[in-house]
Structure 1
Amino acid sequence: MASTTSSTAALATAASSHTYSTTVSKAPGRASRPEEAEANPHHVVKGGSVSGFKNPYPSYPNVNLGTMFRNVIWPIITGDLKQPDTSPPTVPVVTPEWLPGRTASGKLRATWLGHACYYVEFASGLRVLFDPVFEDRCSPFTFMGPKRFTPRPCDIRDIPLIDAVVISHSHYDHLSHASVLEIQRSHPDVQFFVGLGLAKWFRRSGLRNVTELDWWEDAELTVEVTTAEGEAKRKQSISARVSCLPCQHTSARSPFDRDTTLWCSWAVRSGDRSVWFGGDTGYRAVPRLPAGVDDYGPGYESLPRCPQFAQIGALRGPFDLGLIPIGAYYPRVAFSGMHANPFDSVEIFRDTRCARAMGIHWGTWALTMEEVLEPPRVLREALRRRGIPETGVFDVCDIGESREF
């Protein structure tokens, strides 16, 4: 049976007023789902119920504290691994410009707000915010943890309309308690979409209108807008399909809840435009290699790849725009299973059948050891290798900049 939530708000000015409501229905059935996914191989079942989640393919290695100590912590202690230089100048930051109201430009318009956060204005009038984190630190603490080396381009209150917020997973650089609370305060009708197991955290935090989905499940979102200008009233109905799709990652907000909530990529289709949001994902597990060895070169090109991106492209693609992670990947032996490097990103772009793409998951916090401006440079090299133009297909932009598709 479909589940439905709705809410209504009213805003007014001296010249005009509008009301709007959002309604979400879980789409019935399991259309466009790979046969192997019917058994939910990503579920960890104990006592007859789902207790957690796992990456079900050989493309994901066994990553544990020992792996991180050997390959990251100890090399930092010994000086063999250097922290990246985050001193400015790094990535330019500009003040975002938004479309007025629900103006439809006829195109898809996407604005990068840093790291994995994108604000997408659909031609239908729908407004969607992906993985919003507006705090200075992506950490459970305000006094320690990774700190921004580029400033946020705006505050949440500056964003004029938010109909839906899509969350990829529970890590602090993708889910901020303070940010989602502020979004609900500023936009009371906003609808949150989260992976399986995460709705409980949202509701415990006082957040309403939460839709929880498993991989390959869909929800139908409807936004009803009534605008009054004097005596005249205009009604607008905006619809979208929001799809929870696989990726290869992990989840946790403490040492005690690892992999108890699901990590996801997402697709949003509204009108005749579509976006695939990669969130945070790896693609293939790369072993320890000598410095300078190309892990896509002879002997390593055939390492197992996560098959789910090709499934997404075949069953849910093509997409007008992909928002695809390109950063937080070095050293590869430690991070390749959960974070794509730009060579992986180009393969994911091709697998998912995105017409265009923008790079995310870089330029905001130094989470790993590559130089902070390396991802876009390596991305150009990866595109050249695949015979794809270096600009105009899979791009990066300034933080706060908008692009149209």
Structure 2
Amino acid sequence: MAWQNPWYDPAQPHHTPEGFKNLTPDLRENGDLKRWRRERKQQGLPHPPAQGYEQFIRQWCQPADLSGSQDSVWWLGHACVLLRNAGRYTLIDPALSRRASPLSFLGPQRRTPAVLAIDDLPALDVVLISHNHYDHLDRPTIKKILRRFPDVTFVVPLGLQAWFRRIGAHQIVALDWWQQTQAGGLTIHAVPARHWSMRTLWDRNRSLWCGWVIQNATLNFWFSGDSGYAEDLLEIPRCLGPFTLAALPVGAYAPKWFMQGQHMDPDQAVSLHRAIGQPVTIPIHWGVFELADESLDEPPQVLEQAMQAAGLDFTRFKAWKIGGQMMLNNINQD
């Protein structure tokens, strides 16, 4: 018998009897994946950073400093973000292993070191997972979290509950788009994203993907997760804005003809940044794994050019160092 979506609600346009879908159709066609792989192999892509990987690491990486007690946000590389709120810690999409892969010897490898170990965390209350791709849901990292923090709460999109139960998690909250929960002193909303899910050859789009809006009395933070650009995303600031902080993806966009349905490019991220009122915005989804054709050092350069071309305040949306920290009171005073 064919798999049936146990969460299917015909009133929800992103639900299907077989799983989930985007509200904006995918533009890719059969054969496009093979075409992309063939073209990047022929061109020897991706190219290394202009001055090599070691120089890139020296320029863009620093150990995450968790000293002090002020409410803060850290970018830990790729899509991994850490929040400290009144001494409580929330970790988003932690993928700290050597590879973004089900295999330890094959698949995209880290080009920059992890700037934080789970053992470095003094506490961990909540982990948010945006979707099940290996560069966002990393089994070895989750197992380390559970060994150190067995009572941590995982907040995940629909369809990932069973995966977390199998790995030993006890506190799991699964949300559909526009649902919310309370955890770690925060109100957490699951919001739409334009992406997809797949962890095996047999489970494509059987679990949902999402972004998160994270709120307390002084913070309103939109973490978009993996997402291509879509006009539908503007419903999020209309419903839950204005935001004091955002995290928008700027990497894994080349070639645009293949990636645009799942990853926005820096120009699109800048357009979205402007549309949501230009909050302080962390560029994410770059700097660690080579998942597309652009080099690791291209996204920050293209982002700066896009901000200048748009005539916007570059200080509000610029590349952070991996491991970089910002005090939340600095954001709120901005």
**TM-score, scaled to structure 1:** 0.74
User: Contact 1:317–1:354 at 8 Å: present in 2 too?
Assistant: no
The 2-side partners of 1:147 and 1:340 are apart by 22
Residues 218-367 of structure 1: matches in 2 within 5 Å?
218-221=180-183, 223=184, 239-283=185-229, 306-353=230-277, 355-367=279-291
Q: After superposition, give the CA deviation of every residue in 1:146-176 in whole Å (9 maximum; x if it has no partner).
A: 1111111121111112111000100000001
Instruction: Provide the residue aligned with 1:206 in structure 2.
Output: 168
* Deviation for aligned residue 1:252: 0.6
Q: What value does the CA root-mean-square deviation take over the aligned residues?
A: 1.8
Instruction: Provide the residue aligned with 1:43 in structure 2.
Output: 15
Find the residue that maps to 1:324 and give its secondary structure: strand
Gaps in structure 1 of 5+ consecutive residues: 1-36, 46-50, 224-238, 284-305
The 2-side partners of 1:130 and 1:354 are apart by 22
Instruction: Provide the residue aligned with 1:385 in structure 2.
Output: 309
User: Contact 2:23–2:232 at 8 Å: present in 1 too?
Assistant: no
Instruction: Provide the residue aligned with 1:89 in structure 2.
Output: 55
Distance change >3 Å, CA 351–CA 255, structure 1 → 2: farther
Instruction: Provide the residue aligned with 1:159 in structure 2.
Output: 121
* Deviation for aligned residue 1:385: 2.2
User: Contact 2:178–2:189 at 8 Å: present in 1 too?
Assistant: yes
Instruction: Provide the residue aligned with 1:114 in structure 2.
Output: 77
Higher-Rg structure is: 1
Find the residue that maps to 1:39 and give its secondary structure: coil
Instruction: Provide the residue aligned with 1:74 in structure 2.
Output: 38
* Deviation for aligned residue 1:353: 4.1
The 1-side partners of 2:29 and 2:155 are apart by 28
* Deviation for aligned residue 1:39: 2.8
Find the residue that maps to 1:357 and give its secondary structure: strand
Distance change >3 Å, CA 349–CA 359, structure 1 → 2: same
Q: After superposition, give the CA deviation of every residue in 1:277-296 in whole Å (9 maximum; x if it has no partner).
A: 1111101xxxxxxxxxxxxx
* Deviation for aligned residue 1:68: 1.2
Determine if the alignment matches structure 1 residue 402 to structure 2 residue 325.
Answer: yes
The 2-side partners of 1:200 and 1:176 are apart by 15
Distance change >3 Å, CA 351–CA 53, structure 1 → 2: farther
Where is the strand percentage greater, Structure 1 or Structure 2?
A: 1
* Deviation for aligned residue 1:336: 0.8
The 2-side partners of 1:146 and 1:316 are apart by 35
* Deviation for aligned residue 1:354: 5.3
**Number of residue equivalences:** 315
% identical aligned pairs: 35
Where is the helix percentage greater, Structure 1 or Structure 2?
A: 2
Q: After superposition, give the CA deviation of every residue in 1:54-97 in whole Å (9 maximum; x if it has no partner).
A: 11224x32355x11112x112134x2463221532214321111
Give 1:148's match in structure 2, choosing from 110, 131, 143.
110
